[in-house]
């Protein structure tokens, strides 16, 4: 019985630790604007005490970025839009860094060239707290849009 209890406690500790290292969860949504256009949304839900860096003003590997897989079924309209970010001076880099806390939604407008579209790509981001940063992470995504 004691061995099971110790094993359970160790396993619980492992899963709690694993959750701490995934402070950002991504979700996706699409919205049809008209018969020929849609907007896709990539939402980051960020754990308390953590942040991800904005696309604008930051340098790699910190900057959040999106790479869309080319497809004959849609065309990108403009660039990915992001809301206004928080700016904070960083003594290490000796400049302002721009980031998001809690949640952020990025949006990309697309032209629909076929009735059913699957927008695929890879997003890259880096999650940091005041104490540490996790390695940059690449996340594949797929968002289906129908006319």
For residue range 54-71, what is the model confidence (pLDDT) as tens digits?
998 777 668 999 999 999
**What residues have CB less than 8 Å from 143, skipping those under 6 apart?**
28, 29, 30, 40, 42, 118, 119, 120
In terms of DSSP bridges, do strands 116-125 and 95-101 run parallel, antiparallel, or are they unpaired? unpaired
Domain ranges of the chain: 24-146
State the pLDDT confidence band at 4, using cuts at 50, 70 and 90.
Answer: very low
The tokens for 40 are: 């896709």
CATH of domain 24-146: 2.60.40.1250
pLDDT band of residue 7 (cuts 50, 70, 90) is very low
Residues 119-129 have pLDDT tens digits of 999 999 999 99
């Amino acid at each position: 019985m004691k061995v099971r209890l110790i094993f359970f406690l160790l396993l619980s500790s492992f899963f709690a630790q694993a959750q701490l290292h995934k402070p950002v969860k991504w979700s996706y949504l699409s919205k049809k604007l008209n018969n020929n256009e849609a907007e896709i949304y990539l939402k980051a839900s960020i754990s308390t005490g953590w942040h991800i860096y904005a696309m604008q003003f930051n340098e790699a590997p910190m900057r959040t970025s999106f790479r869309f897989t080319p497809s004959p079924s849609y065309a990108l309209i403009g660039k990915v839009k992001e809301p206004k970010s928080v700016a904070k001076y960083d003594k290490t880099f000796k400049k302002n860094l721009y980031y998001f806390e809690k949640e952020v939604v990025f949006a990309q407008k697309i032209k629909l060239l076929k009735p059913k579209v699957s927008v695929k790509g890879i997003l890259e981001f880096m999650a940091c707290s005041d104490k540490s940063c996790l390695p940059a992470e690449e996340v594949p995504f797929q968002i289906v849009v129908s006319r």
